[in-house]
Every structure is written in C-alpha cells, then in structure tokens.
Amino acid sequence: MSAFPELPSLEHRGPADGVGPLYTRCWERGELLQLGSWISDVGLLLQAAYERWGPPSLVVLDRWRINELVEKLEASPIPPCPVEQRGQVYKDGAEDVRAFRAACDSGAVTPVVSLLLRSALLEARTIGDAAGNEKLAKSSEGGRRGMARDDAIAAGIIAVSAGYRRKGHSQPKGPALVVV
C-alpha cells in the first residue's frame, strides 16, 4: 500500500510522471491511497496500514523525514514495537539488497499480486561501488531514467531484508510496517 496526496489528481500526476494511467489503476485496485491535500499524510497512512493488517511486529523506517515519521508513529494507534532505521546509502543499501536477493532466491518471499510493486520493480536499478556493494540507484545515479518511480520497491527491499535478517531469531508474530 502506498499513498499520494489528493493534489494534483492521479489523472494529472500519472502522465506528468511518465506512467500514464498506472496510479489510477493502482488506486482502483486498493494498492494506492490518496491521503492529504498537497502532501501525503503519514499519520493517515499509518492508521490505514494498522486497520488493514493489524499491529506490526516491527516498524522499518527510511531515514528520510525520520523526525516526522517517528512523531506520527507515536501519535498513531499502533502499539509500541521495535523500530529500525535504514538508509539508502551503500552501508545499509548493500546489506538490504543482498538480503532481499537471498530471500527471493531461497523462496522465503511470497509476494502478493501487485501492479504497484510490479511497476516499481521494473523501474528499479542497482549500482555498485568499487568493493562490489550494490544499492538501489537514485535518479541521478547509474544513468537511470530521471522519472523512474520505485519507492514501493525500495520499501519492499527494506521490509524483506528486515524480515530476512531476523530469520532464525525469536520474533513476535505479525507483519512488518515499512515507511519510505
């Protein structure tokens, strides 16, 4: 599940982002919510996730806008649980990409049918450093398309990698909530 603000409309945002009717189709399928006027309302997104999937066993946060995310999380109905911060730099990103690939290769991941995730995965690219570490590329790195929209797969990568790293450890039951 992902969110955009209500303005501009999905009908205008899709063509402007070079994805045509993708956002409208994802909204129709319940994979994309419209929350907030001009800025996505993170508090409403947290509430919607809680209502859809129940209390998480772990919340994984991208460091982008971390203070806002923590504030909204504390004000949400989500009961206290472990919180893990991840970055999109080589240190965290390489570990997450390796864990994501290992989880997929081992069959530990069973993805839901999702137009949003499929589209984001098609846009995703990794780049490597001299030591062979790979991370998800941003629009300015690795010659990627400047309009690529892959936030959903960035969230998927850190969610799967968090679960994979916890594999074999005693862990509470329940889904992981990821905010990117």
Domains and CATH numbers, the chain: 2-179 (3.30.420)
Say how far apart CA 18 and CA 48 lie, in whole Å: 27
Amino acid at position 131, single letter: A
Contact 146, 123 (CB under 8 A): no
Contact 19, 148 (CB under 8 A): no
Say how far apart CA 54 and CA 26 lie, in whole Å: 22
pTM as predicted: 0.82
* Mean model confidence pLDDT for the chain: 85
Q: Is the peptide bond before 8 cis (omega within 30 degrees of 0)?
A: yes
Confidence of residue 166 (pLDDT cuts 50, 70, 90): confident
- Count how many residues are written for the chain: 180
pLDDT higher than 50, residue 171? no
> Taken in order 40, 46, 147, 85, is the CA torsion positive or negative?
positive
Amino acid at position 110, single letter: T
What are the pLDDT digits (tens) for 8-65? 999 999 998 888 999 999 999 999 999 999 999 989 999 999 999 999 989 898 888 7
Model pLDDT, residue 169: 40
- For residue 146, the Cα-to-chain-centroid distance in whole angstroms is 19
Say how far apart CA 24 and CA 27 lie, in whole Å: 5
For residue 146, give both structure tokens: 């400047």
Contact 22, 14 (CB under 8 A): yes
Amino acid at position 27, single letter: W
